[in-house]
Amino acid sequence: MSTTAHNGHSKGDAPTRGGTVGTPPGTRMPSGSDFLYPFIEADEDDAGPLLIDLAASARGKATDSGRLQAATIEAHRPALGALARAMADRFTAGGQLFAFGNGGSATDAASLAALFTHPPGPARPLPARSLVADEAVVTALGNDVGFELVFSRQVIAHARSGDMAVGLSTSGNSNNVIRAFGEAHRRGLLTVGLAGYEGGQMAACEDLDHCLVVRSDSVHRIQESQAALAFALWSEVQTALSADRAGAHQ
Amino acid sequence: MATEAGRAIQTPQAPQAVLGGLADDLATTCLALARRFWTGATMWCTAPAWPQHAHHVAVEFVHPVIMGKRALPAVAVTDPDPVSALRTLARQGDILVAVANADDRQVMAAMRRGRAWGLETVWIGAGPRPDAGAADHVLWLADEDPGRAPHVGSFVLIYHLLWELVHVCFEHPGLLRADDSCTDEVCVTCSDEGHLGEVVAIGRSAEATVRTATGPALIDTTLVAPVALGDLVLIHAGTAIELVEGAQT
């Protein structure tokens, strides 16, 4: 039984697509070895052992995810403090945050923006939005100027020098994300990249002020740790703003 | 806030500590979903408070991260009225996955209606649990703060596991065939068991046509009359015996 979801292409931000040809719904999907062992898997009728395997696999993956999240935050703790300080200053000065990514990373960018604007508990709402949210803008740009420019053209339209750009890509190679960093950097934005694997192109991107890499080769585990990292970053920004307010009232 | 935020950057709660019995729930859920996909189901995903989670679940299944894995039909439903959208879109045998807190009224209604529409329902969330039987499968992080869970990656982990394990089930075709032999000791029709129906047409003399999990049915509504289009009723032996939920709720 193969339960590992490691390696393979990253979803949404892969430079080339691994097109998966699906079997039409309702038809039986033959497994590769059926013709060799026609009576083994096909005649399996007791689900008990599979259910035990599935639960064990879930526990193993959750354990891996937890360890990676802890290690990732530990590795980036000093950088997060400095980054959060810089972001808090920009928010205080009226800056706003733009988040972007592709596929699952697009949804994680939306989550990050929502966390800043609709924070849990008594935290201070801060202006942040996802550059993926408007399908009219994304498809207009993709259709007219090319998909590699869907984020950078929005940076040109909206960004001011005191703003922040946060791009997510599990591979670190998403072209449209890298292009947006270039445009953002030229305009004086604070640029932050969240990547996986070894950081890909983001690791060497001179337009990035901060590159936070989740060191894993599983797209799923990378995304889970990126979410934890984004939450930690948001928490630190709130802490910095609270400290500023406390200081101002003394 | 400083205290809370300060705590948040500490090592995140290790998922293995909170997965507990959820691992077993995930296992049975994934086998059930794989069986539905096998017979051609579409997976409808909704998360009214956090639409990005609905989108993430859908893209996970439609465009797998691992080359060669089958693309499965999954759709994010982000309509402001997900119940109406699902009523029109979902077909008997489909799957409904919701990511929402237990007090989400739209999801509660969609899950209830899903029974009448013949859907396999999955509810992912954190904090206080939904009522027993609110969905076929409740994948719950009961120990997590429901204000924090949607932001720290906890739900992302749950639906990643959902995807990974469904695909493991596909490697066991013998376990995916529909089980059409009735192993229940008592037939549903003859037992005291009731089932849900949604009124789709009102006939004469207290009759109504309802949508049920096994297809349309003509029922007697004398006991609950008058009924309106969209009413959800409990049916026993061809008779509506209780109004479960009105059309407008």
For A21-43, how does the pLDDT look when each residue is reduced to its tens digit (9 = 90+)? 344 444 445 455 444 544 455 67
Q: Say which residues have a Cβ less than 8 Å from residue A140's Cβ, sequence separation at least 6.
A: none
A66 touches chain B (CB under 8 A): yes
A45 touches chain B (CB under 8 A): yes
For residue A72, the chain B residue with the least C-alpha distance is B11
B31-45 mean pLDDT: 97
Peptide bond into A38 cis (omega under 30): no
Q: Could you give the CA distance from residue A119 to residue B199 in angstroms, rounded to a whole number?
A: 41
Query: Across-strand partners of B95?
Result: B43, B120
Name chain A contacts of B63, Cβ cutoff 8 Å.
11-12, 20, 103
* Partner residue opposite A58 with nearest CB, options B6, B26, B153: B26
Report the percent of chain A where pLDDT is more than 70: 82
Give B204 or A158, the one with higher predicted confidence: A158
Assembly ipTM: 0.88
User: The pTM is what?
Assistant: 0.87
Tell me, what's the pLDDT at B205? 87
What's the mean per-residue pLDDT of chain B? 89
Tell me, what's the pLDDT at B174? 93
Q: What is the DSSP letter of A211?
A: E
The amino acid at residue A140 is: A
A177 touches chain B (CB under 8 A): no
Q: CB burial class (10 A; 0-12, 13-18, 19+) of residue B109?
A: middle
Cross-sheet strand order for the sheet of B120-126 = B74-76, B43-46, B95-99, B120-126, B137-141
Cα three-residue angle A103-A106-A108, rounded to 5 degrees: 115
Tell me, what's the pLDDT at B184? 52
List, as one string, the DSSP characters of B46-89. E-TT-HHHHHHHHHHHHS-SSTTSPP--EEE---SSHHHHHHHH
Q: Could you give the CA distance from residue B139 to residue B181 in angstroms, rounded to a whole number?
A: 28
pLDDT tens sequence across B64-123: 988 889 999 999 999 999 999 999 999 999 999 999 999 999 999 999 999 999 999 999
**A223 pLDDT above the threshold of 80:** yes
A216-242 mean pLDDT: 97
Tell me, what's the pLDDT at A178? 98
* Partner residue opposite B26 with nearest CB, options A18, A52, A54: A54
B174-202 mean pLDDT: 73
Name chain B contacts of A62, Cβ cutoff 8 Å.
15-16, 19, 23, 157, 161
pLDDT tens sequence across A168-192: 999 999 999 999 999 999 999 999 9
**B101 in Cβ contact with B91 (< 8 Å):** no
For residue B76, the chain A residue with the least C-alpha distance is A107
Which phi and psi angles does A189 have, rounded to 5°?
Answer: -75, 155
**A164 pLDDT above the threshold of 80:** yes
* Partner residue opposite A22 with nearest CB, options B53, B70, B145: B70
> Up-side HSE of residue A122: CA atoms within 13 Å toward CB?
7
Between chains, do B169 and A235 touch, taking CB under 8 Å as contact? no
Which phi and psi angles does B192 have, rounded to 5°?
Answer: -85, 5
Nearest to B46 by CA among B98, B91, B5: B98
Q: At what angle do helices B22-38 and A48-92 cross, to 10 degrees?
A: 100
> Is A186 in a helix, a strand, or coil?
helix
**B120 in Cβ contact with B32 (< 8 Å):** yes
A164 touches chain B (CB under 8 A): no
* Partner residue opposite A11 with nearest CB, options B65, B168, B172: B65
pLDDT band at B167 (very low <50, low <70, confident <90, very high): very high
Tell me, what's the pLDDT at B20? 83
**B243 in Cβ contact with B231 (< 8 Å):** yes
Report the percent of chain B where pLDDT is more than 90: 80
